[in-house]
Chains A and B, each alone.
Chain A
Amino acid sequence: MGLIGNIAAGLRALAGRTSVEREMDEELRGFLESSAEQKVRAGMTPEQAVRAARAEMGSANAVKHRIRSTGWETAIENLWQDLCYSLRMLAKSPVFTLVAVGSLALGIGANTAIFSLMDVVMLRSLPVEDPGRLVLFGQGRMVGSTDSLPDGSRDLFSYSFYRTFSQKNQVYSGVAAIDSIEFSTHGSLSGAMSEVTTASLVSGTYFSVLGVIPDRGRILTDADDKAPGAGAVAVASHRWWQRHGSDPAAVGKTIHMEGTDYTIVGVAPPGFFGATVGDVPDFWIPLSMEKQISPGWNGLDNKWFQSLYLIARLKPGVSVAQASANTNLVFKQILRSDYVSQTPSQNEIESIEHAQIELTSAARGLSRLRVEFSLPLEILTAIAGLVLLVACANLANLLLARGAARSREFGLRMAIGATRSRIIRQLLTESFVLALLGAAVGVACAWNAGHLLLTMASSRSDVAAMNVNPDLRVLAFSLALTVFTALLFGMAPAIRATRLDLTRSLKHGRGIAAPASRISLARGLIVAQIALSLVLLAAASLFLRSLVKLTSVDTGFNRQNVLVFSLDEGAAEIPVDARLVNLEQRIEERVQRLPGVHAASFALFTFNQGMWSNDVTAQGIPRTPDNSQDVLFNVVGNGFFSTMSLPIVSGRGLDAADRTDSPKVAVINETMAHRFFPDGSPVGHRFGMGDNPAHSGDIEIVGVVKNAKYVSLQESPEAAAYFPYSQHAQYEFNFEVRYTGDAAQMIPAVRRAIAEVNPNLPVNAISTLTEQVDESTANQRLIARLSAFFGLLAAFLVCIGIYGLLSYAVARRTSEIGVRMALGAKRSNVLWLILREVLVLAAIGIAIGVPVALEGNHLVAKLLYGLSPADPASLFAAIAMLIGIATVAGYLPARRASLVEPNVALRCE
């Protein structure tokens, strides 16, 4: 019959069970009849013959069963029976099923959600050709531009370095440059309404180095990147193309951005999001257009303007070590020939000595998200894993108790011929059904949770665009997790439950077979749960306390009641000169006149928006280690300090006297005042940017303002200087309004006022200063919230576990308790007897958990603010909580035990 015949016969047997059954009956009957006839012929009476033939055959059902089990389909039938039986058993005890499925769903769902996030952020390879051969120069941590001579590991490079390096390179088949900043601007497609558009500036080699084939049209080439301003072409991302109706005629159309028309020459393939995970630009534009996209940027002709990431593809046969050696050799050659004079200073020689390019794999692309999230994600993965373990331990305990309660059923089944392995299989099937149900619910929840987690962690719009729905890999992970989970919680109880003394288990309704070992396994599980929960709760309280400390940090400014409008002055095509200053002043005046507005001001930065910093030299002040650290700069309107509620400590603030043509002034903060002028008032002193003493008299200090936080809440006090925008004309990205009253009415009023001054000035987004501060701690809040949630979940599971174990123990010891009470034990004695058991378990669990928690907390030290990882308060809080939980969970069964009536209990036996 062969394999195919075998399969066909099996399927036939499965499909036509009744006809197969009938044939078997007929064959058996025929056998019996022939056998009886033969015996009659041999001399028996017909009755004797039939009885003898039946006796020879034995149970017809047993024979049929043996015939049936020759086919593979029987295994499926058994499985099917087990499944049906499992579902029936689970439906019979809905509370147990609900608790089991619920806790598994949370455990598996949490792990799936976090793994899918991890997959997107950290594990997935770039969708390009042979991503394993791509290397990134540096770590890709820095964003923006730097003008210093490389000293140490370098992330950002200049355009001229990229060009020279490409020529001298011997180890790469190609080198590509990507601007570290993704530009957000307004674009208009063939004269249509303009909308927010993002563009990534890349070298002409970008697509060919990555090995990306365009979906339609062509990719950028080196020819587009030949001369400054000569490559007004763009490749659209597939997402942008789809957003614009998947127009088949899109290639050839023009997109108008920042005053220049770009011809769309191609569309990138679907799924290609660029080299940076989490940032999907709408367009890729040649670096030759840098000045057109961002007028302040002059990387094309200034070798000190270092703002590019470099990605290169290794030549076949070249190892990373060889490439690294050659890259650093060429790097230092170029530094020596192009970046320092013939006779470099001692400082410069040392810098070049230290300078190096650390090659990192670019297989998974660049990712700020990865840098931001890898530690939090690893911690969350660990937390979710621990929760799943707690859930497994809990479930194992519930199954143990259930197995004990069902020992009579198992005894009966074994007595009528079921083998032990058959029952173990049946019990494991039940575990798998539970795990699968839990996984189904969990994955369904995780489907959206990944996104939720991401938006909780970051409000950046491009993050929201990432596809974090679980893909096949994630589903495979969940499935593996489910199987593992089912085995973990199902195996021990199944083996334990079937280790039966048949006669005893049938005699007593309650399972008392091997009670001591079963109880000790259950106790071990409870101890493990308590220890794991302690680790989780200790971490959670640590994160919560750290978050409270962080959010109560004095920012310096008053974050309440300030609206922040993010404007795109570049899109309005206003020239960067006195006209821009005039526009900004008119908007400020107009908005300030609105009722309810206290102050309004433009600002380059508000909080946590990046930084502009440089060396500063003050006239007549010797350089000290203290005052040679970078000073942070901001360019603001006259109303900035009152908008931020930053009081002037001495001198004056910025005012109308500071005009374009008046002497340059600055207001500095207390830290800068202290670092440069520790002994006297800085007002009236002068300073300049850079370390060149010739410029030290450029800017006069007119006032000192209170310190404020600049980039993050964690930062130590930084020296800062504020310049009036009238003297530093440039696009300002923020317009801040301090108001009282209803924000919902204030926002349209301010927008109207802006539009009245210039109807072409687009408002990109509106937020509040409070939101900006909160956003800066998004990571910490995410971790604090999730770890608290998981910690409580684990504690709740422990509660169920303890309650279940004690209820079972009390039921078993009813007669013992009866005897004790009959002999004079008081109710309080009994209560204590039971509670003591819980507290002993809790104490053991805590004793195991404390060192683990202390060790584990060291791993999260980096994410803590103002707290030691061994913070005793957090640990005590966790311990107190666990003891509380254990007492509560133990009290109910203990009380039940203390209410036992001695004569009733004794009559039971």
Chain B
Amino acid sequence: MAQKSGDVVQGTLEMLILKTLALEPMHGYGVALRIEQVSNGVFRVNPGSLLPALARMERAGRVKSEWRSTENNRRAKYYMLTAAGRKALKDETHAWGRQTAAISRILEA
């Protein structure tokens, strides 16, 4: 399982995107690449999930977007966190921490 890259844990994609974007504004592929790299290839985010998630978060006001040129001088849509997004990240991280702690306790009991 660790060798094979897979989908992100259900319900956590938004949190991962938020966390990734908290570092700096990024375009869609940048987000996908970063998640894959940081997770050592455990999670691979498909554009079919990533781009709709970004669109949904933009509608919800958690991220905003802007067209900028990339390092290769190409135009790309960059996403960045809004204040609401930062708050959402904090809340979700907190909730996630409690859930994983609880799950670990159950598994270790």
- A and B assemble together: yes
Q: Chain A interface (Cβ within 8 Å of chain B)? A: 1-2, 5-6, 9, 23, 26-28, 30-31, 33-35, 37-38, 56-58, 62-63, 66-67, 69-71
Least CB distance, A40 to chain B, in whole angstroms: 13
8 Å CB contacts to A: which residues of B46-78? 46-48, 51-52, 55-56, 58-61, 64, 70, 72, 74-77
Chain A residues in 8 Å Cβ range of B86: none
Q: Is B33 an interface residue (CB 8 A)?
A: yes
Given the known interface contacts A6-B61, A71-B55, the answer about A58 and B48 at a Cβ–Cβ threshold of 8 Å is yes
Docked CA distance A374–B2 (Å): 81
A34's nearest neighbour on chain B, judged by CB, is B29
Top-6 shortest CB links A-B: A1-B61, A34-B29, A66-B52, A70-B56, A70-B55, A67-B55
- List B contacts of A35 (CB < 8 A): 29, 32, 47
List chain B residues, Cβ under 8 A from A70: 52, 55-56, 59
Cβ of A58 to closest chain B Cβ, rounded Å: 6
A155 to chain B, nearest CB (A): 68
List B contacts of A33 (CB < 8 A): 74
Contacting pair A66 B48 (CB below 8 A): yes
Give Cα A30–Cα B68 distance, bound, in whole angstroms. 12
Partner of A27, one of B59, B64, B76, B82: B76
Contact B29 A1 (CB under 8 A): no
- Given known pairs A23-B77, A26-B75, the reply for A31 and B60 (CB within 8 Å) is no
A residues within 8 A CB of B46? 56-58
* Given A35-B29, A58-B48, 16 new contacts (CB under 8 A): A1-B59, A1-B82, A2-B61, A6-B61, A23-B77, A26-B75, A26-B77, A30-B27, A31-B47, A33-B74, A34-B76, A63-B47, A63-B51, A66-B52, A67-B55, A70-B59
Residues on A with C-beta less than 8 A from B32 are 31, 35
The contact sample of 6 A-B pairs, CB cut-off 8 A, is A1-B64, A6-B61, A9-B58, A26-B75, A30-B74, A33-B74
B interface residue numbers (CB < 8 A to A): 27-30, 32-33, 46-48, 51-52, 55-56, 58-61, 64, 70, 72, 74-77, 82
B28 touches A67 (CB 8 A): no
A158 to chain B, nearest CB (A): 76
Q: Is the CB of A67 within 8 A of B52?
A: yes
Query: What's the Cα separation between A6 and B28 when bound, in Å?
Result: 21
Q: Contact check, B47 vs A30: say whether CB atoms are below 8 A apart.
A: no
CB distance from A424 to the nearest CB of B (A): 24
The distance in angstroms between the C-alpha atoms of A6 and B58, with both chains bound, is 9
Q: How far is the CB of A174 from chain B (nearest CB, A)?
A: 60
Asked whether, in the complex, the Cβ of A31 is within 8 Å of the Cβ of B28, the reply is yes
**What is the number of contacts between chain A and chain B, taking CB atoms within 8 Å?**
74
Nearest CB of chain A from residue B53's CB, rounded to whole Å: 8
Which residues of B sit under 8 angstroms from A1, Cβ to Cβ? 58-61, 64, 82
Minimum CB distance partner of A72 in chain B: B59
Contacts of A26 in B (CB 8 A): 75, 77
CA–CA, A417 and B3, complex, Å: 34
A1–B57 Cα gap in the complex (Å)? 9
The answer, among A27, A37, A58, for a CB contact under 8 Å with B28, is A27
- Are the CB atoms of B27 and A62 closer together than 8 Å? no
Give Cα A26–Cα B30 distance, bound, in whole angstroms. Answer: 15
Report whether A38 and B33 are in contact in the complex, using a CB–CB cutoff of 8 Å: yes
User: Contact at B51–A31, with CB atoms within 8 Å?
Assistant: yes
Q: Contacts A23-B77, A27-B28 given: A56-B59 contact, CB under 8 Å? A: no
- Tell me which residues across on chain B come within 8 A of A31, comparing CB atoms: 27-29, 32, 47, 51
If the complex has contacts A1-B64, A30-B29, A31-B28, are A56 and B47 also in contact, measured as CB distance less than 8 A?
A: yes
Closest approach, in angstroms, between the C-beta of A70 and any C-beta of chain B? Answer: 4
The winner among A30, A37, A71 for most chain B CB atoms within 10 A is A30
Nearest CB in chain A to that of B59: its residue: A6
Cβ contact within 8 Å between B59 and A28: no
Whether A57 pairs with B48 at a CB distance below 8 angstroms is: yes
Q: Contact between B48 and A63 (Cβ–Cβ < 8 Å)? A: yes
Q: With A and B bound together, what is the CA distance between A5 and B64 in angstroms?
A: 11
Question: Which of B47, B56, B58, B74 is A28 in contact with, Cβ under 8 Å?
Answer: B47
Q: Would you give the shortest CB distance from A684 to chain B, in whole angstroms?
A: 104
A67-B58 Cα distance, complex, nearest whole Å:
11
Nearest residue (CB) in A for B60 is A1
Q: Shortest distance in angstroms between A20's beta carbon and chain B's nearest beta carbon?
A: 10
| A305 to B33 alpha-carbon distance, docked (Å) | 101
Given A30-B27, A63-B51, A63-B52, verify A5-B61 contact (CB < 8 Å). Answer: yes
**Most chain-A Cβ atoms within 10 A of its Cβ — which of B48, B58, B72, B74?**
B48
The answer for the CA separation of A35 and B76 in the assembled complex, in Å, is: 13
Cα–Cα, bound, A125→B75 (Å) = 68
**Distance in angstroms between the alpha carbons of A410 and B61 in the assembled complex:** 39
Residue among B30, B32, B52, B82 with the highest chain A CB neighbour number at 10 A: B52
